[in-house]
Amino acid sequence: MMGSGGSVSVRSPATVANMVCGFDVLGFAVNDPYDEMHIRFTDEAGIIIINEDEYNLPTEPELNVAGAALLAMLEELNEPIGFELRICKHIKPGSGVGSSAASAAGAVVAANRLLNDRFTKEDLVRFAMNGEKVASGVKHADNIAPCIYGGVTLIRSIFPLDIIELTAPPLYVTIVHPQIEVRTADARGILKQQVLLKDAIRQWGNIGGLVAGLLKSDYELIGRSLEDVLIEPVRSILIPGFDMIKQQSKEAGALGGGISGSGPSIFMLSKDESTAKLVEKEMHHIYEQLGLEHHTYVTTINQTGVKFIK
C-alpha cells in the first residue's frame, strides 16, 4: 500500500475522564473542542510527524503520543509501511480534557482507515494506550475509549481490555479550563496508594449509581452519584477556585461534576442548555474575581468519537 496516494483527515474529540467517581474506568467524549489530523502513506517505512500548531510537541515518533500509538500499530502489522501525520491541536496539552488521547486515538483511527479498517475498535484502543503511557507513564483507557467509541464508556478491565458502551440521556456539558497546567504524571503522583475500606465502599456505590442513572435516564440519581471521596479531595487543591465553582454551579442548577481527568479543567453536567449556560456564567464570574485567565465550553456528549472529514 505504500506510496498509493491514500490520505485521511479526522477530527478527534476532547474527552472527560473519570466522571468524578470513576477514576480510570469511566469517560465520555464531547463535541467541542477537537483536534484535526491528516495522515497519508509515504514511500518509505516509518513515521513522520508534522506539527501544525503552536505547542511545539516532540516530532520523534517514540516521544510523541500519536507516534507511539502508530508505532504499536506498525509493530503488530509487521509490514514495511510508512505514514506522514499532520496534527493541528485545538485541545491544549495539559488541559485535562484528553489532549493526549485525542492525538493517539485520532492517529490510529485515521491510519486504520487507510489500512481498510483492518483492526477492531478494541485493537485501536490498545494501540492508542501506548500514547497515554508516553504522556503519563501509565496505560489507561478512560479517555481513549470514548474518543474512539464515542459516547460514555466503562472500562471494566485494562488487562485484558474490556470496554462497555453505556447509553445516556441528553446531557449538556460545561467545561472551564483555567490557564494553568496540571501534568497528568504529577496529578497521579500525589494520589494516596491506600484507601480506607469505608471510602472504597462509598466510591463503589457512587460508580454503580452513576452507571445505573445513565442507563435509566435518572437525572437525580446521576446527580447524587457524582461524588468522589478518593481522588477529588487530593487533586482539587491543585485547581484554584475549585470548591467555589462546584458549589456555585450546583446552585445554578447543574446536576454535578468535578475535575475533568487530572485537571485543571472542571466539568459540570446539566439537563438543558439554559442551565449549562448559567453554569458557564458562574464559572466566568469566579475566575474573573480570581484574576485567572480561562476558557469555557458549553457542549454535548459526542456519540460518534473520531470523525472522518473530507
Q: What is the pLDDT of residue 186?
A: 74
pTM (2 d.p.): 0.94
Known catalytic residue: 184? yes
Domains, in order of start, for the chain: 7-167+303-309 (3.30.230.10), 172-300 (3.30.70.890)
Helix axis angle, 99-114 to 121-136, nearest 10°:
140
| pLDDT for res 190 | 78
Q: Of 36, 132, 280, 282, which is the active-site residue?
A: 132
The active-site residue, picked from 153, 184, 275, 299, is 184
- pLDDT in the model for residue 82: 95
Average pLDDT, 10 consecutive residues per value, the chain (310 residues): 68 98 97 97 95 95 98 95 97 93 98 97 98 91 98 96 98 96 74 92 98 98 98 93 98 98 96 98 97 97 94
**All residues at 6 or more sequence positions from 160 whose CB lies less than 8 Å from its CB, including other chains:** none
Q: 287 with 178: CB under 8 angstroms?
A: yes
What pLDDT is recorded for position 136? Answer: 86
Instruction: Look up residue 157 and give its three cell numbers.
Output: 478491565
What pLDDT is stored for residue 193 in this prediction?
87
